[in-house]
Amino acid sequence: MKILAIESSCDETATAVVEDGRTVLSNCIASQIDMHTIYGGVVPEIASRKHVEVISGLAEKALQDAKVEKQELDAIAVTYAPGLIGAVLVGVNFAKSAAMALNLPIIPVHHVRGHIAANYITHPNLEPPFVCLCVSGGTTLIVDVKSYTEMEIMGGTRDDAAGECFDKVARVLGIGYPGGKPMDELAQTGDDSRYELPRAHVQGAELDMSFSGLKTASLNLIHNAQQKGEPLCLPDLAASFNRAVSESLVPRVMVAAQQKGYGKIAVAGGVAANSRIRNDLLAACQAEGQQLFLPELKYCGDNAAMVGCQGYYEYLAGKRGNASLNAYANRDIGLG
């Protein structure tokens, strides 16, 4: 079964052709990073306009790269939630139009479910159930993946997403946008014990997290040093920050895995590319006898291959959209 997949939930326009949920025939991405860098973050209106400009041509490119004709397609999958509402609408409306023109079924896909499915591409033998840490610029969740389409949130952030904190701190430091990669690179030569940063605990909810305090403490540390004219060791600060984020995430996902007893842990989302988190999880899993599944780096960020992969399993479960399919800024992962 060949699926044309569409992803436009934030600032990446992406298209792909995926066969039978595991084989990626093409994976095309049009990045807007250069455009949003000057603002230090994504400008929703600009993102939506750029999606409109490139989405049709990018869909054609995905078919060409896959060497697949339109009449060979079996369905169209599209991210319909969550995300920047204007951006998501572009992808949904294009997918509905294409499905109508080609007389194909349309499969609505939850963006975070797509990130989880990226692991199926990298690890063809991975099957549910497992526990998945979903961590990105907009989401930080611990998810019980009971089946390909049955999922339940076990814990999550009460405020900021971990990826958002990376972006904000990197912006104030002036080291680039998005912030995850430059913070990770900077931390490689740093002392992670140089700066003491907070780790929040949510009373009565051991699997929930909070990152607003970490973000505020980091920004205050930077601003105070700037105001006093005191030097900051950027590698040490980045390393200390990475450690604080990792120590907020890893112990909780290990507790969740112990509770479920599946013996398998996966990681998904853009922050899954962070080397400190990957290494800490690997060490924890080795110590506790858990299997760890990490997506290939190119599938950590937003892409359409993951949407096509999850779309296949949603299709098998009978999920279909129609001409009234709408976009949603927020949507519980359990609702699909």
Domain ranges of the chain: 2-115+301-335, 127-298
Q: Say yes or no: do domains 2-115+301-335 and 127-298 share a fold.
A: yes
CA dihedral 92, 98, 99, 100 (to 10 degrees): 110
Identify which of 98, 10, 1, 22 has the alpha carbon closest to the alpha carbon of residue 309.
22
Fold (topology level) of 2-115+301-335:
Nucleotidyltransferase; domain 5 (3.30.420)
* Cβ contact 311:75 at 8 Å: yes
The architecture CATH gives domain 127-298 = 2-Layer Sandwich (3.30)
CA pair distance 114, 5, nearest whole angstrom: 11
Determine the pLDDT at residue 326: 96
Residues 6 or more apart whose CB falls under 8 angstroms from that of 129 comprise: 144, 145, 146, 147, 260, 262, 264
Question: How far apart, in Å, are the Cα atoms of 52 and each of 45, 266, 307?
Answer: 11, 33, 19
Determine the pLDDT at residue 111: 97
Determine the pLDDT at residue 33: 76
In tens digits, the chain (336 residues) has pLDDT values of 999 999 999 989 999 999 999 999 999 999 887 777 777 778 888 989 999 999 999 999 999 999 999 999 999 999 999 999 999 999 999 999 999 999 999 999 999 999 999 999 999 999 999 999 999 988 999 999 999 999 999 999 999 999 999 999 999 998 888 889 999 999 999 999 999 999 998 889 999 999 999 999 999 999 999 999 999 999 999 999 999 999 999 999 999 999 999 999 999 999 999 999 999 999 999 999 999 999 999 999 999 999 999 999 999 999 999 999 999 999 999 988
Confirm whether pTM is higher than 0.85.
Answer: yes
Extract the tokens encoding 331.
């949507």
